[in-house]
Homo-oligomer: A and B are copies of this chain.
């Protein structure tokens, strides 16, 4: 693309460096910005500068937090014997929204992915192993995506933790609530059949 202005070109290149945003969309967004108030766009730019320069991670669960200890880790009502292991804060937020989990979290900050060059040492594995040595911890729940990377990470973590006295579980795999069976993929349907439950136990809460 030949841009009539270096400033526009620079802003377009920055926006299109984000995943899923191409040059054409980026240009559309930049032109949208130019129709906004100067003040708003200054705020827009500054929000990312503030973010990257002041971001802080909870020293216990490694989730993003504005203080040294996040709201969940500093909440005394949370059950400190159960740790839910998640990939990132998006999953943590999703689990929190279910209102089904009262324990604490451990944010790995990624999944093991040899294809992307991400090994166990690039994510917070050692910190999790260290944490489980505390006798207060009774159960570890893996809440990782059901993908190749999620399964690899699940397996690696299980191997690292299996010799402890911990109860280790992984979130259930099966049919999504509301799913129509004729459109469910075979792997999921097969898994759901082999992991069938007595009817009384299978009712969703």
**Is A47 located at the chain interface by the 8 A CB criterion?**
yes
Identical copies of this chain, number: 2
**Is A187 located at the chain interface by the 8 A CB criterion?**
no
Instruction: Given A3-B93, A7-B66, A66-B6, check contact A19 B32 (CB 8 Å).
Output: yes
**A contacts with B: majority SS:** helix
Q: B1, B33, B36: which contacts A93 (Cβ < 8 A)?
A: B1
Q: Provide the residues of chain B in CB contact with A52, threshold 8 Å.
A: 33-34, 36, 38, 41-42, 45
* Stretch from A21-29, A143-151, A169-177, A195-203 at the B interface: A21-29
Instruction: Given A44-B48, A48-B44, check contact A4 B92 (CB 8 Å).
Output: yes
Instruction: Given A18-B32, A65-B4, check contact A49 B45 (CB 8 Å).
Output: yes
Instruction: Given A45-B46, A48-B33, A49-B41, check contact A54 B7 (CB 8 Å).
Output: yes
Q: Provide the residues of chain B in CB contact with A8, threshold 8 Å.
A: 51, 55, 64, 89
